[in-house]
Amino acid sequence: MTTASEEHLTKDAAGGLYWQPAAETLPTRQLGDLQIERLRATLENAYENVPFYRKKLDELGVKPGDVTCHGDVADLPFTTKIDLRDHYPFGMFASPREDVVRVHASSGTTGNPTTVGYTRGDLDVWADLIARTLAAGGVAPGDLLQNAFGYGLFTGGLGLHLGAERLGCTVVPISGGNTERQLKIMRDFGATALSCTPSYAMYLADAARDRGLRPEDLPLRVGFHGAEPWTNELRVQIEAGLGEHALDIYGLSEMGGPGVGYECLCKAGMHVSEDHYLAEIIDPETLRPLPYGEVGELVFTTLSRVAQPLIRYRTRDLCTLIAEPCACGRTSVRMSKPIGRSDDMLIIRGVNVFPSQIEEVLMSIPSIEPHYQIVVDRKGYLDIIEVWVEVGEDIFAETMGDLERFQRSVQSQIYNVLNIQCAVKLKEPKTIQRSEGKAVRVVDRRKAL
């Protein structure tokens, strides 16, 4: 007897599997038509149910029915993270809150995080997109996925979990951290697949080596790594250290999380799930669309999300779109690895951090002077962040114990907002370098991973 999931799974040309073969290999022309049909439905939903979009579209004099081809997309308004924050928590929902069965939020945001809601149908689509991602790496029922992405409001843990269950493999919801236990469970349970950030994968690889474990002692065959930038050089090291194929996966909370882009075993860029997301590259200065192959900012429009449709969402990620066909047989465009951002967002151990969030905390503490510097570095493969702050003379007159207490209190106030540990260094007045132009608030000493 075949199970429902085995009926889905057919071999691709790269050694992986299709989860939804028809959708994943849809001829370009049909894919384009499907996108326009879904785009119109999305615009209608947004126009009818989200006052923000009704106003924006009315201002531009665009009606959902006016969009008939891809060229019309450039007439549609953009959406930014600020728009989402301004409508916190549920003002961008197109569905009544009662129909929203899940809410996630972006990592590490201060004040108002950006929230994302899913109807039951949205979760269903998400599950299939992650199942596609896992299948592309050859994962099938019978495999065991150790899911070391963080569970909680972050979309990584629960997203991968949902897709693994949809696919029908065994999922171990171990979440992040506790390296000793990760390595034990990996061997005891026989994990054939791993999901976590690339930096954590490398950390696990080093920890395994330090304990005398060779890659062949680990049962892994494939890993799904993303949520932060990484290079092909790191891929080679992770693969050698863990004995797995290390595949890149991309997504962002605003688009519903991972599942937006994923690599097949050709490892030649991430296939964009184009039947559910319309991808564009724009020039971040002029906001004009750029042709495939040019580096620019990635912009997405959701094509099937019901609870929270987003039109031309500016991801701030800089990359290129690759239109040439992939050897695996999938027909979608691929996105290159993001090479940077068009804003100042830092990604520290997978958590998104805006320097302004740290500034807000610091500036709320009276004894701290308005001079600070955020120093980001890497210890092994893990990011570390230090916040150097200038404090008034009076602070240094305190006892050692008082100073330490003050320092710990600043650390914990930053932790409360960002959810990441950082080391606070108290500096004497006028010791942080002043700049004649823009203040250099962030010193990022990390080399590309």
Residues that bind ligand DLL (CB under 6 A): 106-107, 149, 155-156, 226-229, 248-253, 257-258, 315, 317, 337-338, 347, 352
How many CB atoms neighbour CB 236 within 10 A? 11
Q: Which is nearer to ligand DLL, 20 or 352 (CB)?
A: 352
CB of 382 to ligand DLL, least distance (A): 16
147 with 170: CB under 8 angstroms?
no
Q: What are phi and psi of 147, to 5 degrees?
A: -95, 95
Secondary structure of residue 199 in the 3-state scheme: helix
21/113 with CB nearer ligand DLL: 113
Amino acid identity, residue 410?
V
Q: How far is the CB of 149 from ligand DLL (least distance, A)?
A: 5
Q: Kindly state the smallest distance separating residue 256's Cβ from ligand DLL, in Å.
A: 9
Nearest by Cα to 271 from 4, 19, 77, 79: 19
Q: Contact at 8 Å (CB) between 164 and 147?
A: yes
Minimal distance in Å, beta carbon 354 to ligand DLL? 12
Compute the Cα dihedral for 254, 169, 246, 180 and give only its sign: positive
Of residues 66 and 165, the one with the C-beta less far from ligand DLL? 165
For residues 157 and 128, is the Cβ–Cβ distance under 8 A?
no
Q: Please, what is the minimum distance in Å from the beta carbon of residue 263 to ligand DLL? A: 9
Q: Between residues 249 and 278, which has the closer beta carbon with respect to ligand DLL?
A: 249
| CA 210 – CA 378 distance, rounded (Å) | 19
- Cα angle 358, 379, 232 (rounded to 5 degrees) comes to 100
Contact criterion met (CB below 8 Å) for 378 and 384: yes
Residue 195 buriedness (CB in 10 A; 0-12 / 13-18 / 19+): buried
CA 139 to CA 222: how far, in whole Å? 8
Cβ of residue 395: shortest distance to ligand DLL, in angstroms?
35
Tell me the residue ranges of DSSP E strands in 68-205.
102-105, 115-118, 144-147, 170-172, 193-196
- Please state the closest distance from residue 386 (CB atom) to ligand DLL, in A: 22
CB of 338 to ligand DLL, least distance (A): 4
Q: What is the CA radius of gyration of the chain?
A: 23
We find the least distance from the C-beta atom of residue 261 to ligand DLL, in angstroms, to be: 7
What counts of helices (H) and strands (E) characterise the chain? 13, 23
Closer by beta carbon to ligand DLL, 116 or else 311 = 116
Name which of 23 and 353 has its Cβ closer to ligand DLL. 353
d(CA 304, CA 300): 12
Q: Which one, 231 or 413, has the nearer CB to ligand DLL?
A: 231
Q: CB-wise, 383 or 390, nearer to ligand DLL?
A: 383
Contact 165, 141 (CB under 8 A): no
- Of 53 and 250, the one with the shorter C-beta distance to ligand DLL is 250
Cα three-residue angle 232-350-225, rounded to 5 degrees:
40
- Nearest residue (CB) to ligand DLL, 374 versus 389: 374
Output the smallest distance, CB 345 to ligand DLL, in A. Answer: 7
